């Protein structure tokens, strides 16, 4: 059984001659969260770039002195005056520089120091970097030098980004031939 609905009210056309209800064309973009797709992408890129800059500034410190002196200091802070529980290895670097890596058996992560720039770089997970930063902060200064640009695949590894690329690059050479299909040559 259907209920009977009341009759609809008649629609009255607005009178535009009086200046009422004149449609207004918007000339400025909306101020709400309804930005254009390009604007949202630009803002996301800026935010990613700022996060990258901040992360790289906290991972880098400045050491004024020879690299071996930093090793000796770090060993002392760890209570190992002889340096028997740490490893000090020269690692590959650019032709005009020397780069050293310090690690300790009680800590995860690495402390890298580069000569002659004095850049100290912390490697490891975020938790490990915090521990190493507390250790290195005692004898180093804040890094004010250049920071490498954010590019390519590194963008996906910046904090806060958890999305995948959306494409699987391991497709193989099947070229659309499924199981059971005959191929003609």
Q: And the tokens for 180?
A: 């059971």
β-strands 141-142, 98-104 pairing: unpaired
What pLDDT, in 10s, does the model give residues 9-59? 888 777 777 665 555 666 665 555 566 888 888 999 899 989 998 898 889
Describe the chain by its helix, strand, coil percentages, rounded to 5: 30, 15, 55
What pLDDT, in 10s, does the model give residues 128-149? 899 999 889 888 888 888 888 8
Q: What is the structure's pLDDT at 154?
A: 64
């Amino acid at each position: 059984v259907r209920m009977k609905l009341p009759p609809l009210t008649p629609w009255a056309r607005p009178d535009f001659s009086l200046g009422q209800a004149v449609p207004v064309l918007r000339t400025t973009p909306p101020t709400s969260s309804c930005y254009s797709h390009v604007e949202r992408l630009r803002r996301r890129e800026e935010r990613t770039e700022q996060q990258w800059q901040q992360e790289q500034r906290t991972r880098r410190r400045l050491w004024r002195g020879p690299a071996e002196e930093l090793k000796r200091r770090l060993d002392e802070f760890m209570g190992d005056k002889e340096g028997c529980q740490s490893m000090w290895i020269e690692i590959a670097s650019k032709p005009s520089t020397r780069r050293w890596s310090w690690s300790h058996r009680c800590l995860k992560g690495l402390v890298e120091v580069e000569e002659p720039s004095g850049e100290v770089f912390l490697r490891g997970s975020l938790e490990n970097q915090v521990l190493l930063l507390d250790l290195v902060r005692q004898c180093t200064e804040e890094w004010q030098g250049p920071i490498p640009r954010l590019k390519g695949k590194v963008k996906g590894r910046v904090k806060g980004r958890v999305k995948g690329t959306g494409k699987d690059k391991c497709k193989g050479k099947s070229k659309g031939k499924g199981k059971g299909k005959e191929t003609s040559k």
